[in-house]
Amino acid sequence: METAVDHILDLRGMIIPVTFLRITQAFREIEACEAIEIVGNDPETIKDRFRILQTFSYELLNINDDESHYRIRLRNGRPVDGFVKNSCPQKTHNPHRC
């Protein structure tokens, strides 16, 4: 079962540094415990996808790479003892775009 997301950030067709800027902006805007799905296809962003996230606390929910694009699902959160504690309630509403 896939985790519901609150936001979708579609980066397909964008390149670094635009992708890093959009990811940073999205993470600053979402609330604690909200989930975001990042979709993109830039090979450089795929290679360095977590470098920009080092400054944020998050829980990695899912990574899906295929030939044409990647999908990363993350939940904004706070680390506890080096891990993010999954204490957020499940969301059931439809996602909207960042």
The answer to whether the bond into 79 is cis (omega within 30° of 0) is no
Using a 10 angstrom Cβ sphere, with 0-12 exposed, 13-18 middle and 19 or more buried, the burial of residue 33 is middle
Question: 5-57: per-residue pLDDT in tens?
Answer: 999 999 999 988 898 899 999 989 999 899 999 999 987 877 777 777 888 88
Give the pLDDT score at 80. Answer: 46
Burial state string for 52-79 with b = 16 or more CB within 10 A and e = fewer than 16: bbeeeebbebeeeeeeeebbbbbbbbee
> Could you give the CA distance from residue 77 to residue 86 in angstroms, rounded to a whole number?
8
The pTM of this model reads 0.75
Question: 85-98: per-residue pLDDT in tens?
Answer: 444 544 444 454 45
Query: Would you kindly state where each structural domain of the chain is located, as residue ranges?
Result: 7-90
Please identify, in words, the CATH class of the domain defined by 7-90.
Answer: alpha beta
> Could you give the CA distance from residue 76 to residue 6 in angstroms, rounded to a whole number?
11
Cβ 76 vs Cβ 38: under 8 Å:
no
Give the pLDDT score at 92. Answer: 46
